[in-house]
Amino acid sequence: MNPETAKYTTTIETTDNSAVIQVRDLYKAFGENKVLSGFNFDLKRGENVVVLGKSGSGKSVLIKCIIGLMQVDKGMINVLGNDVPKLNTTDLDKMRAKVGFLFQSNALYDSMTVRENLEFPLRRHWIKTSKEEVNDLVMEVLTNVGLPHTVDMMPSELSGGMRKRIALARTLILKPDIILYDEPTTGLDPITGKEISNLMVDIQKKYNTSSVIISHDLNCVKIVANRVVMLIDGICYATGTYEELELSTDKKVKQFFE
């Protein structure tokens, strides 16, 4: 597997109509630090793609550009038919209602209970449902992440793994088409990390979502990835299944799996 192979793969995918995210020639720099230098990437419907790369290689920047939290310097990002860099605030909000984002630090609102945290995206995206329906939705997602008893607890009362599950529940409450995971198992012990990884796979099956997962936890990658994209030197250096990349002879790819 080498850069040429990777380029060839993404060119094929451009013609695929089932892609829910398309990223083309994406450039992003912070001063002199060029993080993304012509990155190409596609996510197909129902697929779990892991973006693997070193710390500081621009993985989080990539998904923040996809969700519109960061402005791109150059390039095209198409999410569910929306050209993200060109969207106005209203259209960006509409697009974000269909795309969930699980933050690395969970980003649960400290001043709100679990219920209020889960209700927040519903209220903010103007989704008009009755009190009973909102309550049913809250309980449904909490049950799906295995924590229905935490509904009236504060985030500070929860363990790291529980917070991650609640953050995932908050992402799920809008029933998104796509979920972007930013290092979902970082800071968790191996057992909890494995539980979260399995939960991500269950969620994908249950909600029929497509996911981009940023991670360098190989155990997590092994469980969740249908395909792995290697972000090295700001480009999509290689792509393939976990097993394919594990057997790669390319030096830069190989060092991740050693």
Partner 1 sequence: MIKNIFIEVGLIARFTGRFFREVFKPRFEFSEFLRQCYYIGNKSLPLVAITAFIMGLVITIQSRPTLVEFGAQAWLPKMVSVSLVREIAPVITALICAGKIGSGIGAELGSMKVTEQIDAMDVSGTNPYKFLVVTRVMSTTLMIPILAILADAVSLYGGYLGANIRGVVSWDLYWNQVFDTLVFGDVVPSIIKTFFFGFAIGIIGCYKGFNSNKGTEGVGQSANSAVVVSSLLVFIIDLLAVQITDILNLN
Listed in sequence order, the residues at least 6 apart from 150 whose beta carbon sits closer than 8 Å to its beta carbon are 114, 142, 157, 158, 162, 166
Would you say 57 or 171 has its CB closer to partner 1?
Answer: 171
C-alpha span between 106 and 167 (Å, rounded): 5
Of the candidate spans 2-10, 101-109, 203-211, 219-227, the one that interacts with partner 1 by CB under 8 A turns out to be 101-109
Rule CB under 8 A: choose which of 13, 93, 116, 233 binds partner 1. 93
Q: Does residue number 110 form part of the binding site for partner 1 (CB under 8 A)?
A: yes
Q: Does residue number 124 form part of the binding site for partner 1 (CB under 8 A)?
A: yes
Total site size for partner 1, rule CB under 8 A: 21
C-alpha span between 59 and 71 (Å, rounded): 15
Q: Does residue number 184 form part of the binding site for partner 1 (CB under 8 A)?
A: no
Would you say 121 or 193 has its CB closer to partner 1?
Answer: 121
Rule CB under 8 A: choose which of 25, 103, 139, 218 binds partner 1. 103
The contact mask relative to partner 1 for 69-88 (x = CB under 8 A, - = no) is x-------------------
What DSSP character marks residue 69? S
For residue 27, the minimal CB distance to partner 1 (Å) is 22
- Side by side, the strands of the sheet bearing 33-44 are 33-44, 19-30, 74-79, 82-83
Rule CB under 8 A: choose which of 19, 49, 79, 108 binds partner 1. 108
Would you say 64 or 227 has its CB closer to partner 1?
Answer: 64
Whether 63 contacts 28, CB under 8 Å: no
C-alpha span between 162 and 150 (Å, rounded): 9
Would you say 106 or 197 has its CB closer to partner 1?
Answer: 106
* Residue with the two structure tokens 């009973």: 132
Name the 3-class secondary structure at 90. helix
Separation of CA 24 from chain center? 18
C-alpha span between 239 and 232 (Å, rounded): 11
Rule CB under 8 A: choose which of 107, 139, 151, 201 binds partner 1. 107
For residue 69, the minimal CB distance to partner 1 (Å) is 6
Of the candidate spans 28-36, 38-46, 117-125, 247-255, the one that interacts with partner 1 by CB under 8 A turns out to be 117-125
Q: Does residue number 247 form part of the binding site for partner 1 (CB under 8 A)?
A: no
C-alpha span between 51 and 79 (Å, rounded): 17
* Residue with the two structure tokens 């997590």: 220
The contact mask relative to partner 1 for 45-64 (x = CB under 8 A, - = no) is -------------------x
Whether 226 contacts 47, CB under 8 Å: yes
What DSSP character marks residue 15? T
Q: Return residues touching partner 1 (CB under 8 A).
A: 64, 67, 69, 89, 93, 96-97, 101, 103-110, 120-121, 124-126
